[in-house]
Structures are given as C-alpha cells and as structure tokens.
C-alpha cells in the first residue's frame, strides 16, 4: 500500500496481489490484434509474474480451432511480436490453461457453451473465477457479443462482488455520435458502467501516463499552466506508415475517426484538464469530461478550424511511395482523409484565447507523437529579436513516441565576449534514465482491467462528448465529398491547409 501511495500508477499492481482467479476470454481470438498485441501482453504479464496464480485463457471465434492449434498459434505470435523472446517455461504456465471455444457472435447457444466452459474451469479449480471478456472483433459484432453476454448470464456473473465480470471493448467506439449513443445504450442493457473498459491504447503508453505525473507531481508547472503564460499548444500525432493492408477499414474511417476523435483528444484532455481531486478513476474521468465539454464547436467554413487532406505520391526514406488513391483497396475517387488538422478553442477560465492545434496523418515525414506547450515571449525590452539575439519561445515538449522524453527550449548566451543568444534545449530521455524495455500499452491495460482499475479507460460520457464535437465535421465532410480535400506529398509535414490553421494566429508548426 505504501508503494502504491508513492507511485500512484502502480496501484493496479498492488490491487492485483489480492486479485481473484481470472479467466480472460478473447472474442476474435484468431485475429490480427490478438496475435500482435493481446497474446504478447499476456505472455509478458506472465513473465513479470503479474498474472493471478490461477489464470486461464480462452479464445473464442467462429472458426473451429482445436485447443492445441490455438496454443501453437499463440506461441508463434509471441515469437514474432513479443518484446521479449519466447521462454517455454513462462509460456507453458499459461499454455497449459489455454483453451478455445468455437461459436458465432450472435449464437446464444454458443454463449451458453462458453458459460458452461467457464463453469467447468471453476469446478475443476474449486473456486469462483472472475471473467474478463475482451471484445477484439470488428465493431459490427460488438452489440451481438454484448447482448449474448447478457442473455447467457455471463455479464452479470458475481455482480456485487469485486470479482464480477468485466468487459474490455476495442476501438472504434462508434463512428459518430448516434452510433456511440446506441452502443452505450446496448452496454447499459447488460452491464453496469464500472464493468466496462473502453480501450484507447494511447492511455496505456508510459509517456501518456507520465503527462499526469509531470503536471501534478511538479510544482513549477501549475502556476504557468494557463492563458497568462501559455501562447499555444500543438499536438502532433504523425505516422510514417500508409494505409497498408487496412484499406477496407480505413476507407470507412479516415484520420479524424481513427486518430483525432480518440487518441489525440485524450492527449488534449490530459494536457488541459484541471487537477483531479484524487487519482481515482472517476475523479480523473470527471475532469477529462469537464474539459471536453468546454471545447467550442468548430468553425467548419473554409479557412476555419478544420483541414483535411490525402497523401499524394512522394518519397520516403529515399524510396518512391504511392499516393492514397493508388493504394490497394482504395476507391480512386475516395473522399477519406488521411490527414486531419484541427484548431480548438477551450472556453474556460484557464484556456480562453489559447489555441490548441491538433494534426494527425499517415505518410508524414516522421513517426512522432508530441505535445508542445509554447509559452509567451518575454517583453522585448532587453533582448529584442535581432541578428545578435536569436530567440525562440520557451517550449515544453512531451515526446510521447518514439524516443520518449521531455524537452524544454530556453534561450541561452553563446559563450564569448559579446552577448549573443541562441535557443538551447534541456532534454530528459526515458531510455537513458530508465532503460528501454518498458511494458507495452496492452500489458498495462489488460492488467488494469483485470484488477478493476478503470483510470486508463474511456468512460461512456467521455466518448459521447468527443463525438459530439466531431460529428458535425464528419457530416460536413461527407456532404462535401472530395470538394475541399487538400493533398500533401507522402513524406511531408502535411498540406497547406494544415499550415494555414496555425498561420491564422501567426503561429507555425514546430
């Protein structure tokens, strides 16, 4: 407990030590996410001795897969995707309690079989077992799974006790406000809110959690963290990868739904929210929702608060790459944006008048996720910008990934007999201070859900509030089709309309 108080984000770990025997059931267990992230996460938790002593894994899917084949596939996934090499003994501990149940997602009888399977596990163990259901299927079957968890009694198992059933729901959480409302309604039919863990894997990233620690465990920031000292905030979530093999999904999604509405808005909320009254999940989520509610509706007129674009052919790493419209599985007339830029205004006491610029895109110059907090310039009485005084605004930059860390740009004197200045950078790098083998987001998130800690998950009203802001944008873009769609060469920092968002306030992207 003392440990948990010193390191609040270890609370999940301390709770875990008393946690119940657990069965994790993965729906969509033959899928890409299961292989690339979920199985390696479970393996690494086992490696670190963070799984309950009585831990069971059950894969579920429509395809009939024998238990042994599922275990072999899982071991292959660990070999290919885990941050640690496969250790047979560690994996063996999980593998011997790993099974597979075949069934449809809309097949009530199959869910009854799943319930009987879990009951059998409990009978053999001689104890009650907590069930954590991980919905890792395409969103088209989220609702069927939820309703069948309800109908089979699995959703309400042990409700009222700490080892009640819990459900993790993958993204996307809806595709607009109405679909998110409908999904929340389905959830409410079968689950209580505290049983629900809506995933945003960005919250599982170490550096995203560190944002709260930096803001609230250091006294130097809070007095400056407002419109009196901060000029603007820029959040960049840039990817080098293109749409790859995910054309089918991406065409229905686009950058606004895929990256801005969820991941990027979580970064906004954690950067701008008020200090929570405690580190309790509800206290943090209350503050995030309050912040999201203070964001003004976006100006959708040309030259307003939004920009969208598609990548055109370009060069990356010295090699030519295709434009979005030439990619496999993409409609050559597609009106799906691969870049979205947004200017937000937050109408509260702290942030009024401070623009928050957001941009996210595929095929950009470099993979980087960064939150740059730009401070106001000092009055120019002593060091007015000139040939001698090369001055930059002070910028505190949270480097979320890669090369995780924190940097502060200051202006310093160039050594010499004459007073000349230049911007200098103070750097903190995770890898140099802490080493590099940190847990992956999914490890943290699966562990937290298992231990009943919802801090790093999205609450229903949070998802709805974010969709409320962006649904009018999506509707306007759908109506406009390709009209107003800008473009940027693959390997660049985005389109002219994205630069115009900052230029309007005499700012430039870092």
Question: Please, which of residues 38-67 interact with ligand NDP by CB under 6 A?
Answer: 61-63
Total residues at the site for ligand BG6 (CB under 6 A)? 3
* Binder of ligand BG6 out of 48, 122, 239, 486 (CB under 6 A): 239
Q: Residue 272: which residues within 8 A CB-CB, separation 6 or more? A: 233, 291, 346, 350, 351, 356
Using CB distances below 5 to 8 A depending on partner kind, what does residue 140 bind out of ligand NDP, ligand BG6, none?
Answer: ligand NDP
Burial of 404 (C-beta count, 10 Å sphere; 0-12/13-18/19+): buried
Residue of 49, 96, 140, 437 that binds ligand NDP (CB under 6 A):
140
Site string for ligand NDP, 85-124 (x = CB under 6 A): --------------------x-------------------
- Phi, psi (degrees; rounded to nearest 5) at 108: -60, -40
Is 62 annotated to bind a ligand? Reply is: yes
- Catalytic option among 16, 164, 263, 507: 263
Identify what 258 binds: ligand BG6, ligand NDP, none; CB under 5 to 8 Å per kind.
ligand BG6
- Closest CB to ligand BG6 among residues 90, 368: 368
Could you confirm whether 194 is annotated as catalytic? Answer: no
Residue 251 interacts with ligand BG6 (CB under 6 A): yes or no: no
Would you give the end-to-end CA distance of the chain in angstroms?
Answer: 42
Lookup: tokens for 397? 């930059």
- CA 486 to centroid of chain Cα atoms: 26
* Three-state secondary-structure class, residue 455: coil
Token couple for 120:
């059998």
Residue 205 annotated as part of some ligand binding site: yes
Does 171 show up as a binding residue in the annotation?
Answer: yes
Angle at 183 between CA 182 and CA 187, to 5 degrees: 120
Judge whether 425 is annotated as a binding position.
Answer: no
* Structure tokens belonging to residue 2: 């003392």
> Are the C-beta atoms of residues 476 and 363 closer than 8 Å to each other?
no
**Could you write out the three-class secondary structure of 56-108?**
EEEEEECCCCCHHHHHHHHHHHHHHHCCCCCCHHHHHHHHCCEEEEECCCCCH
What does 32 bind: ligand BG6, ligand NDP, none (CB cut-off 5 to 8 Å by kind)? ligand NDP
Is 192 one of the annotated binding-site residues? no
459 is in an annotated binding site: no
According to CB under 6 A, which one of 32, 192, 385, 475 is a site residue for ligand NDP? Answer: 32
The residue number whose beta carbon is nearest to ligand NDP equals 31
Of the candidates 243, 489, 235, 496, the one whose C-alpha atom is nearest the C-alpha of residue 362 is 243
User: At its nearest, how many Å lie between ligand NDP and the CB of residue 268?
Assistant: 20
Question: What residue ranges bind ligand NDP (CB under 6 A)?
Answer: 28, 30-34, 36, 61-63, 105, 136-141, 170-172
Q: Which residues form the catalytic set? A: 263
Query: Applying CB under 6 A, which residues contact ligand BG6?
Result: 171, 239, 258
Residue positions in the annotated binding site for NADP(+)?
62, 171
């Amino acid at each position: 407990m003392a440990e948990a108080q010193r390191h609040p984000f270890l609370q999940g770990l301390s709770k875990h030590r008393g946690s119940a025997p657990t069965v994790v059931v993965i729906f969509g267990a033959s899928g890409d996410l299961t292989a690339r992230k979920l199985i390696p996460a479970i393996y690494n938790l086992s490696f670190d001795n963070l799984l309950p002593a009585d831990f069971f894994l059950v894969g579920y899917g429509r395809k009939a897969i024998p238990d042994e084949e599922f275990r072999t596939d899982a071991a292959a996934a660990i070999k290919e995707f885990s941050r640690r090499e496969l250790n047979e003994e560690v994996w063996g501990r999980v593998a011997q309690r790993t099974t597979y149940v075949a069934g449809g997602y809309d097949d009530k009888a199959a869910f009854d079989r799943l319930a009987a399977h879990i009951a059998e596990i409990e009978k053999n163990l001689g104890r009650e077992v907590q069930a954590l259901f991980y919905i890792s299927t395409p969103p088209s079957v989220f609702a069927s799974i939820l309703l069948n968890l309800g109908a089979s009694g699995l959703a309400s198992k042990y409700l009222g006790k700490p080892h009640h059933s819990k459900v993790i729901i993958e993204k996307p959480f809806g595709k607009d406000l109405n679909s998110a409302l409908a999904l929340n309604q389905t959830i409410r039919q079968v689950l209580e809110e505290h049983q629900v863990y809506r995933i945003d894997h960005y919250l599982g990233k170490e550096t995203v959690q560190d944002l709260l620690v930096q803001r609230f465990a250091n006294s130097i920031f809070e007095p400056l963290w407002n419109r009196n000292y901060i000029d603007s905030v820029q959040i960049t979530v840039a990817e080098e990868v293109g749409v790859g093999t995910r054309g089918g999904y991406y065409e229905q999604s686009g950058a606004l739904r895929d990256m801005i509405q969820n991941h990027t808005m979580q970064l906004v909320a954690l950067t701008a929210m008020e200090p929570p009254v405690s580190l309790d999940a509800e206290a943090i989520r209350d503050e995030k929702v309050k912040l999201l509610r203070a964001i003004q509706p976006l100006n959708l007129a040309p030259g307003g608060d939004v920009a969208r674009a598609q990548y055109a052919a370009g060069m990356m790493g010295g090699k030519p790459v295709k434009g979005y419209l030439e990619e496999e599985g993409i409609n050559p007339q597609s009106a799906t944006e691969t870049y979205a830029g947004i200017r937000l205004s937050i109408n509260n006491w702290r942030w009024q008048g401070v623009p928050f610029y957001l941009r996210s895109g595929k095929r950009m110059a470099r993979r980087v996720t960064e939150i740059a907090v730009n401070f106001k310039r000092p009055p120019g009485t002593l060091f007015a910008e000139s040939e001698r005084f090369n001055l930059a605004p002070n910028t505190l930059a949270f480097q979320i990934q890669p090369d995780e860390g924190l940097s502060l740009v200051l202006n310093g004197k160039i050594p010499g007999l004459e007073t000349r200045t230049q911007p200098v950078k103070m750097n903190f790098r995770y890898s140099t201070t802490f080493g590099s083998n940190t847990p992956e987001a999914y490890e943290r998130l699966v562990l937290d859900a298992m231990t009943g800690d919802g801090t790093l998950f999205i609450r229903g009203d949070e998802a709805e509030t974010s969709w409320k802001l962006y649904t009018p944008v999506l509707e306007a873009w759908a109506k406009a089709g390709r009209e107003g769609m800008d473009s940027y060469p693959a390997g660049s920092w985005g389109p002219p309309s994205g630069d115009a968002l900052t230029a309007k306030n005499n700012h430039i992207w870092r």
